[in-house]
Chain A
Amino acid sequence: MLADAGLFSIPCDVPPYQLSGAVYGTLLNHRSALQMLGDAVNQPPYGAAPSAPVLYIKPRNTLARTGDVVRIPAGTPELEVGACLGLVLGRAACRVSAARAMDYVAGYLIVADVSIPHASYHRPSIRYKARDGYCPLGPAVTARAAIANPDALTIRAYVDGTLGQTSSTADLIRPAARLLADVTEFMTLAPGDVLAVGAAAPPLRIHPGQSLRIEIDGLGSLCNPFLGAAA
């Protein structure tokens, strides 16, 4: 059915794996992200801190490779980026226990979750997160066996070469295995699906003309230039 997709390419081929194209993100799973909201979590419209993982979907039109340009729409001064670890599923995971969850992971990659800044987490429009090219990922899938401890990975994000954020997967509220267990309690993840485990706050802010590089220990780096709207 994609034969007539023309020049629009969906980068599912991330060597040595074929991604399914389904990418799920997790919000407020980094301690800093929840802390930043403070007591607002108990106020309207939220009413209470989240109990289940807060998930969202990056549709296939958002997928991009390292090197791809991220476009900032006219009238939007800056974008925000959540720099995070992505788990790549290796086999169907349904109701997995935290103890066995990592057996279902084929490997890891870097995910840059790009959004138009928005204040509310209540019912944000998908136009903030679902724009074309707003989910660069890669640069490749690193096999699970190559990473000794996914819960102690340092993530460094550089804007125009200057370190803008350092975070660690050690500060996740639900570490990777726990998150997989809680997500697959109600939805099965398929081989090639990506689950981004959540970014630190505050997110990086990127302006037109700047470039972003995200590095995670052992996973290489994901580099993307950000430009204003195409003429």
Chain B
Amino acid sequence: MMHARVAFAGAIHDATPADASLTEVMLADGRRVAAAQLVWLPPFNAGTVIALGLNYADHARELASKAQDEPLVFLKGPGALLGHLGATRRPEGVKFMHYECELAVVIGRVARQVERSRALQHVAGYCIANDYAVRDYLENWYRPNLRVKNRDGGTVLGPWLVDAADVADPACLGLRTFVNGKLTQQGNTRNMIFDIPYLIEYLSSFMTLLPGDVILTGTPEGVVNVMPGDVVACEIDGLGRLINTIAADHEFGR
């Protein structure tokens, strides 16, 4: 089952696809609404947002990073989150802002000191994440610093949370990003350096993971600069297509 959270006609609703084409959704109260008429919110109430840096060998090479003995994990705040079909601001004058298409793993059951063999039992489902970075602001203090990776609207989630039961093998999903329709990023979750069971085992060894906590598992190579007006679409096999538009300062009244 695929689940969305949408705003429509004055209320927030849980919704599911009304047809296979995903162009219409069914609200929990039975109404069918065209997808374009909805305001799409992140598809679950996110708790702690955990993100991985350099978790694909090809992307790590792209950034000339050396091999790691431990996952590079950073955290994000709730203000960064944004739903499908939203707009992410590109500050005037910055030189390099890029998307990152990532598989997001949503925790469904409390996980504390979970072994990898049981790790996937703690997963509620999966969704697509697009985690923007504005590299101009990178400083070498507690990297990646929040000004780069925790900007308002810089972490896009959705459109759907797909039940774990409906994802046969999360370790073999193709990821693709299109900018204005042109394929710019391509990868497969099989190329993660630290796979999902490892990440759950590692994280839950020192922090209790709670339902709603989400792990953004990193991005493969192929991140490119995006400009105001660009439409960025991230796809992951079986999870749908997450669309976001880059907006200039003036569209945010700045």
Of the residues B75, B142, B207, contact of A27 by C-beta under 8 Å = B142
B183-216 vs A, Cβ < 8 Å mask (1 yes, 0 no):
0000000000000000000000111111110000
- B152 and A186 contacting across the interface, CB-CB below 8 Å: yes
Report how many residues on chain B are interfacial, defined by Cβ distance under 8 Å: 38
- B110 and A54 contacting across the interface, CB-CB below 8 Å: no
Report how many residues on chain A are interfacial, defined by Cβ distance under 8 Å: 46
B69-80 vs A, Cβ < 8 Å mask (1 yes, 0 no):
010111111111
Residue A67 is within 8 A (CB to CB) of chain B in the complex: no
Q: How far is the CA of A157 from the CA of B187 in the complex (A)?
A: 51
Residue B130 is within 8 A (CB to CB) of chain A in the complex: no
* B37-79 interface with A by 8 A CB criterion: 44-45, 47-48, 50, 70, 72-79
* A12-56 interface with B by 8 A CB criterion: 20-22, 24, 27-28, 45-48, 50-52, 54-56
With A52-B137, A61-B207 already in contact, the answer to whether A123 and B143 are too (CB < 8 A) is: yes
Q: How far is the CA of A56 from the CA of B144 in the complex (A)?
A: 10
- B208 and A132 contacting across the interface, CB-CB below 8 Å: yes
B91-120 vs A, Cβ < 8 Å mask (1 yes, 0 no):
000000000000000000110100000000
In the complex, chain B residues whose CB is within 8 Å of the CB of A28: 141
With A6-B110, A125-B70 already in contact, the answer to whether A55 and B145 are too (CB < 8 A) is: yes
In the complex, chain B residues whose CB is within 8 Å of the CB of A24: 77, 146
- B78 and A124 contacting across the interface, CB-CB below 8 Å: no
- A121 and B142 contacting across the interface, CB-CB below 8 Å: yes
- B79 and A8 contacting across the interface, CB-CB below 8 Å: no
- B142 and A56 contacting across the interface, CB-CB below 8 Å: yes
Q: How far is the CA of A47 from the CA of B110 in the complex (A)?
A: 41
Residue B21 is within 8 A (CB to CB) of chain A in the complex: no
Residue B147 is within 8 A (CB to CB) of chain A in the complex: yes
* B144-192 interface with A by 8 A CB criterion: 145-147, 150-152
Of the residues B80, B140, B211, contact of A4 by C-beta under 8 Å = B211
How many whole Å from A25's CB to the nearest CB in chain B?
10
How many whole Å from A108's CB to the nearest CB in chain B?
20
- A52 and B147 contacting across the interface, CB-CB below 8 Å: yes
- B79 and A122 contacting across the interface, CB-CB below 8 Å: no
- A130 and B211 contacting across the interface, CB-CB below 8 Å: no
Residue B237 is within 8 A (CB to CB) of chain A in the complex: no
Q: How far is the CA of A188 from the CA of B89 in the complex (A)?
A: 13
- A50 and B139 contacting across the interface, CB-CB below 8 Å: yes
* A109-141 interface with B by 8 A CB criterion: 121-127, 130-132
Q: How far is the CA of A152 from the CA of B212 in the complex (A)?
A: 39
Residue A1 is within 8 A (CB to CB) of chain B in the complex: yes
In the complex, chain A residues whose CB is within 8 Å of the CB of B110: 4-6, 8
Q: How far is the CA of A52 from the CA of B139 in the complex (A)?
A: 8
- A59 and B48 contacting across the interface, CB-CB below 8 Å: yes
15 examples of A-B residue contacts, CB within 8 angstroms: A1-B44, A20-B78, A21-B47, A22-B77, A52-B147, A122-B142, A126-B50, A132-B206, A186-B150, A186-B151, A186-B152, A187-B77, A187-B150, A188-B152, A189-B79
Residue A174 is within 8 A (CB to CB) of chain B in the complex: no
- A52 and B140 contacting across the interface, CB-CB below 8 Å: no
- A60 and B210 contacting across the interface, CB-CB below 8 Å: yes
In the complex, chain B residues whose CB is within 8 Å of the CB of A51: 139
